Copies of this chain bind each other. A is one copy, B any other.
Amino acid sequence: MKLWGDKWNINAEIESFETKDDLIIDQELAPYDVLGSLAHAQILLQQSIITKIEHAKIRKGLKEIFHLAKQGKLRLNLGDEDIHTKIESYLTEKYGEVGKKIHTGRSRNDQVLTALRLLIKDRLLSVEKEMLSLSNNFIEFAKRYQFMPMPGYTHMQKAMPSSVGMWSASFAEALLDDLQVIQTAYRLSDQSPLGSAAGYGVPIALDRKLSAKLLGFAKIQNNSLYCQNSRGKIEAVVIIALVTILSDINRFANDILLFTMSEFSFFSASPELYTGSSLMPQKKNLDVAELLASKVKRVLGNYVTVVTTPLNLLSGYNRSLQDIKKPLLESLNTVLDCIKTATLLLANLTPNEENLTKAITPEMFAAHSVFQQVQKGSSFREAYQQISKNLNTVVLQDLPIVLRNSKNEGSTGNLGLRKLSTQLQKEVRATGKKRRDLDMQWSKLLN
């Protein structure tokens, strides 16, 4: 039976069209919905809408659902409508009358939004943790190969001498920038919509600040209408933060694909990372990097879906917003997979010093020759013209010295790895604290 009763029956084909995707997604949403319901029940108890005994029954039932869901045993079938209906039905079937009280003072609109926000927060904290770990590995890689030479390219042509250290540290720094976008997405998601009901409040007193606190939200999302109007917008910011990470992973994967071509052989990966060809016995392909590179395009597509979904919709909830759930979840899961896989790829990567060194050819020192002329008194542009006309005078310079002497901030001789590590450790602690605080709140609800 539907929450809205039995006055009419919905057409079965229509119902299938409306709910079949959701029935799968909602399995993943279920534990978070239980958390939201537990907090809501506590508010109902506080308001004496339910008794202590009723509250105990509801908690018992909800915890059963939580564990079924965690074990993948909570099956939703056609006709169940959604996880929210399912939860109420479960309680009513098993615990009788109290099940009919759990929905007092809320709507599925704030219920599902609360569950989604909890899921987002949970996943984003995992993303933070994994990306910090990957960033740390790039720093370690940079330390290990700090002065190993590597050609620096511009316009896909050799430009100036660089180092494996600089290359690797560039990704570490990139991820720390990305983290700021993730944190913004987290902050926007860290607002409790619970108590906003269908978008217009309810005519009974509910302590929204308390339910927010019970669930580990930093604050309530105040305006009830805005709770619904922010749907799609906030999820879009979440996905964009994921796109930002994946765009850096795309670059890493793409560099690796080029630099493991036999024409370069700057890096090798461990054998167990390769796949073979069905036709050509000699082939060893680094498919994993190709798939890491492409995922940003999948998640970008999801962004386009999510950001356009609320456009030109009237203020207030619209069922179109349901179509945000699938791309949102897929994006979060994809990014977690990708960061972990990129970490594995990096861990299995070895630079080939000989090839890297050999690839630094004399003409790459042309700018150095110009600066030597400048130091002898030429103007820069004249020295440039001079060298330009006599490129054959440009010769290989002592690479270790060149790399170490480049002492400007951010250059090969001054990569700032220690500072980067310090900054990273600060973020690791901050993320860890958020995770512990959230886990504590949720444990309280579940115990």
A100 within 8 A of B: yes
User: Is A75 among interface residues, defined by CB-CB distance under 8 A?
Assistant: no
* Closest chain B residue, CB of each to CB of A318: B290
Q: Which of B167, B244, B280, B321 contacts A160 (CB 8 A)?
A: B280
**Interface contact B272-A162, CB-CB below 8 Å:** no
* Interface: A350 (CB within 8 A): no
Give A327-342 interface residues, CB cut-off 8 Å to B. 327, 337, 340-341
A440 proximal to B (CB < 8 A): no
Contact A155 B410 (CB under 8 A): no
* Interface 1/0 per residue, A293-325 and B, CB below 8 Å: 111111011111111111111111111111100
Q: Which of A174, A200, A277, A408 lies at the interface centre, i.e. has the most chain B CB atoms within 10 A of its CB?
A: A200
Q: Assess whether B366 is in contact with A103, with CB atoms less than 8 Å apart.
A: no
Contacting A204 at CB < 8 Å: which of B198, B322, B371? B371
CB pair B280 A367 closer than 8 Å: yes
Q: Does A354 contact B (CB under 8 A)?
A: no
The answer, among B109, B272, B409, for a CB contact under 8 Å with A154, is B109
Would B230 and A18 count as touching, CB distance under 8 A?
Answer: no
Given the complex, which residues of B lie within 8 Å of A302, measured CB to CB? 301, 305
Beyond the given A2-B276, A14-B288, A300-B305, could you list 18 further A-B residue pairs with CB under 8 A, ordered by the A residue number? Answer: A10-B272, A107-B279, A111-B278, A160-B280, A162-B225, A166-B223, A169-B223, A173-B222, A196-B410, A201-B408, A233-B248, A243-B307, A255-B314, A280-B366, A282-B388, A294-B321, A297-B304, A301-B301
> When chains A and B are docked, how far (Å) is the Cα of A409 from the Cα of B275?
29
A57 at the interface (CB under 8 A from B): no
Min CB–CB distance A121 → chain B (angstroms): 16
Q: Is the CB of B294 within 8 A of A323?
A: yes
Q: Which residue of B lies closest to A303 (CB)?
A: B301
Interface pair B323/A309, CB less than 8 Å apart:
no
Q: Does A402 contact B (CB under 8 A)?
A: yes
Contact partner, A157, options B284, B369, B374, Cβ 8 Å: B284
Q: Flag if A198 contacts B159 (CB, 8 Å).
A: yes
Q: Enumerate chain B residues within 8 angstroms of A229, measured Cβ to Cβ.
A: 170, 174, 248, 251
- Judge if A33 is at the interface, Cβ distance under 8 Å: no
Q: Assess the B157–A8 pair: CB atoms within 8 A.
A: no
Contact (A311, B312) CB under 8 Å given A283-B4, A304-B301, A344-B14: yes
A205 in complex: contacting residue of B5, B234, B408, CB < 8 Å: B408
Q: B305–A301 contact, CB under 8 A?
A: yes
Q: A409–B240 contact, CB under 8 A? A: no
**Which residues from 243 to 282 on chain A have a C-beta closer than 8 Å to any C-beta of chain B?**
243-244, 247-248, 250-251, 254-255, 257-258, 260-264, 270-282
Tell yes or no: A384 within 8 A of B by CB: yes
Q: Top 9 A-B pairs ranked by shortest CB distance?
A: A4-B276, A201-B411, A301-B305, A100-B381, A312-B312, A294-B320, A290-B319, A155-B285, A100-B379
Q: Give the residues in chain B near A420, CB-CB below 8 Å.
A: 222
- Is B281 in contact with A387, judged by CB distance below 8 angstroms? yes
Q: Is the CB of A251 within 8 A of B313?
A: yes
Q: Which residues of B contact A255 (CB under 8 A)?
A: 314-315
Q: Does A80 contact B (CB under 8 A)?
A: no
**Most chain B beta-carbon neighbours within 10 Å: one of A158, A221, A288, A305:** A305
Does residue A226 face the partner (Cβ distance < 8 Å to B)? yes
CA distance A285 to B201 in the complex (A): 19
Once the chains bind, are B156 and A103 in contact (CB under 8 Å)?
no
Does A63 make an interface contact (CB < 8 A)? no
Known: A4-B277, A278-B3, A388-B4. A312 touches B409 (CB 8 A): no
Partner of A203, one of B250, B263, B368: B368
A184 at the A/B interface (Cβ < 8 Å)? yes
